[in-house]
Each structure stands twice: as C-alpha cells, then as structure tokens.
Amino acid sequence: MIPPLLVETLAYASAIAVFGCSINLLYISTRTFNFAHANMATWGFYIAYTCTTLWGRTPYHYFPLSFLFGGLLGVVFYLAINRPLLRLKASETTLMMSTMGFDILLLGTIQIFCDYLSHVLKIRARIASMSAYDFDIVGGLRGAGVLLPIISIGIILIIHLFLHRTKIGTAMRAVIENPELAAFNGINCDIVYLLSWFIGGGLASLGGAILGMSVTGTPILGWKTVASMFAAGIFGGLYSFYAGALGGFAIGIFEYAGSYGLAALLGSWILPYRFMIPLIVMAITLLFFPRGLTGIPWGRVFTAFKGPVRGGGS
C-alpha cells in the first residue's frame, strides 16, 4: 500500500511547482511580483470545487475551467491596472503594491461568493474538501498522487514548447530578453504582456485547484500558501520559469514531508508552524545565494566534491 503521506506530499509539491512557474513567468516577462497569486489560487479552487459539487464527476474535469477563469482575472488586472502603470514607467515596488490591492479586492469577491454558495446553493463553502471527490487507482493510491505530478510536469513541457516552437512564444522570449529591442523590431509588447498575464493568472488558479486536492479549502487558502509560492520562485531562481517549477517541487516536499517528519520527532504541536519552513528557506536563499539554485556555480561545487574524493582514494 502506498503511504498516504507520500501521496499528499506529491500532490502538494505539484501545486507549489505550478505556483513557482507562474510567478517567475510573470516576473521575467513584466517585472511584476504578483501578490494577487494568492487569491487567484483561491478562486481556482472554488471554481473546481463548485463545479464538482454541482455537476459531479472528478475535480480534474474542471481544472481547465479554473485555468480559464484565472486567465480572465489576469487579463482584467493587466488591462485595468498593470498596463496603465507600465505606461507611466511605474517602479517595480509600485507594480507589486498594485497587485496587493487587487488581491484584497479578490478576497472580497471570494467572501461574497462563499456566502452565495452557503446561503443560496446550500453548498458547504468555508471549509471545503475536494480530496473526497478523488478516485483510487490501485492499492489505496489516490489519483492525486499520480495525476498531479504528471499535470505539473506536462504544464512545464507545454510552456517550453510554446516558447520555443511558436511565433508568439518566440516573441515572448524576445520581449523577456530585451523589451526595447523587441519593440524596435516590430513586436507588439502589449500583446505579449497581455498573454503573459493570461498564462500567469491561469496557472495561478490552476495551482489553486491542484492545491485543493491535498489541503482543505477556505476563503484564505491562497493567503495561507503565499509564502510557499514566493519561496518556490526565489529558491529556484527568479529569472527562469523552469527554476521556479523546480524550486516549487523542492519547497513543497521540504514543507509537507518535513513538517510531518518533525512532528514524528517533536510532537504534533509543531504542525501549525509548518509555514515557517518556506520562510526559513526563503531567508537563507536571499542571504547566501540570492539568485537561487540557478545562481549557484554547480560546476565548481561538483569539482570541489570530486577533488577530495579522488584525493582520498589515492
């Protein structure tokens, strides 16, 4: 039988990987730290949860709807807030603060939606679980333990192919590397930024739906996970969406499996403090290797390890 902790860890790490990928994608393309990721994720959870509750089937069937809804939120934010600020040459700090304001607005709409679900549709909304709608594959292995890592890795591959095998993807890479030169060569940066926000917002909400397969959903689901989201991007390295995904898998495993490992040693009282793990990892990363895993000179590291080994064998 597959240990339940392994299944939950893989499901949770898959969600954090998607968050890390989307945060980095938005940052390298628009230089904006999107704190609205938190409640975009919460909306993604509630879209999948509501559809599953009303229409049946599994939550996986409604993941595309979560993505589309999140993409719409990203487009609204870009057109209404981000684009005007970019045209005014706003600083990165101003752009970041604008996402925090949008995040608070989203939280208000989530609270209203939860009240509607509770009082009108009679759906339990403020403490909700999607894992109950999952299915078993074999030997007690939940679908989340297999499908969610596959979905996360598939997303990374799709984005890679999109960026390297399509014209609009090539244009996005050009804008990421040098916006001024891209604009001089006739690339419409506005369309690229709009597409980036659609993809980034969609992935944020999809990540929220994935997250709901391993944790209990509440109106503050995203806020409780925001430290893990940004720790993923920073630990992996902010200037690569691949690194964000890698950092997400690492942070998710450290946090989920690590907290239960500490609980086995110290007692269950430590579990509520598990969200300190990504904060500690983020602090250590910023202090000692601020460019994340991608900034570490791995060639020198491996050489340093090989040297003593060869010396010891001689």
Strand partners, 217: 128
pLDDT of residue 74: 96
DSSP designation for 137:
E
Q: How far apart are CA 124 and CA 54, in angstroms?
A: 12
Answer whether residue 313 is part of any domain: no
Q: Could you report the per-residue pLDDT of 80-90, keeping only the tens digit for each? A: 999 999 889 88
Q: Phi/psi of residue 135, each to 5°?
A: -125, 155
Q: Which domain does 282 fall in, by range?
A: 4-307
- Who contacts 207 (Cβ-Cβ below 8 Å, separation ≥6)? 15, 16, 18, 19, 22, 41, 44, 229
Residues 10-26, mean pLDDT to the nearest whole number = 92
Answer whether residue 274 is part of any domain: yes
- Does residue 65 contact residue 48 with C-beta atoms inside 8 Å? yes
Answer whether residue 312 is part of any domain: no
DSSP designation for 236:
H
Strand partners, 141: 138
Band (104; pLDDT cuts 50, 70, 90): very high
- 120 is written with which tokens? 């009108």
- Higher-confidence residue: 155 or 300? 155
Q: Has residue 314 got a pLDDT over 50?
A: no
Q: Phi/psi of residue 137, each to 5°?
A: -90, -60
Q: Which percentage of the chain shows pLDDT scores above 90?
A: 48
Answer whether residue 132 is part of any domain: yes
Task: Using DSSP, state whether 57 is helix, strand or coil.
Answer: coil
Answer whether residue 39 is part of any domain: yes
Q: Could you report the per-residue pLDDT of 24-42, keeping only the tens digit for each? A: 999 888 888 899 999 999 9
Residues 5-18, mean pLDDT to the nearest whole number = 89
pLDDT of residue 6: 81
Band (311; pLDDT cuts 50, 70, 90): low
Amino acid at residue number 5:
L
pLDDT of residue 175: 84
Taking each continuous run of H as one helix and of E as one strand, the counts in the chain are 13, 2
- Who contacts 254 (Cβ-Cβ below 8 Å, separation ≥6)? 277, 278, 281
Amino acid at residue number 113:
F
Answer whether residue 149 is part of any domain: yes
Q: Which percentage of the chain shows pLDDT scores above 70?
A: 94
In this structure, the number of other CB atoms found within 10 A of the CB of residue 118 comes to 13
Between CA 81 and CA 155, with CA 114 as vertex, the angle to 5 degrees is 60
Q: Could you report the per-residue pLDDT of 165-180, keeping only the tens digit for each? A: 888 888 888 888 888 8
The dihedral built from the CA positions of residue 101, 106, 107 and 108, taken in this order, carries a sign that is positive
Band (67; pLDDT cuts 50, 70, 90): very high
Q: How many domains does the chain have?
A: 1
Q: Where are the beta strands (DSSP E) in the chain?
A: 136-138, 141-142
Answer whether residue 29 is part of any domain: yes
Cα maximum dimension of the chain: 77
Band (101; pLDDT cuts 50, 70, 90): very high
Q: How far apart are CA 267 and CA 307, in angstroms?
A: 41
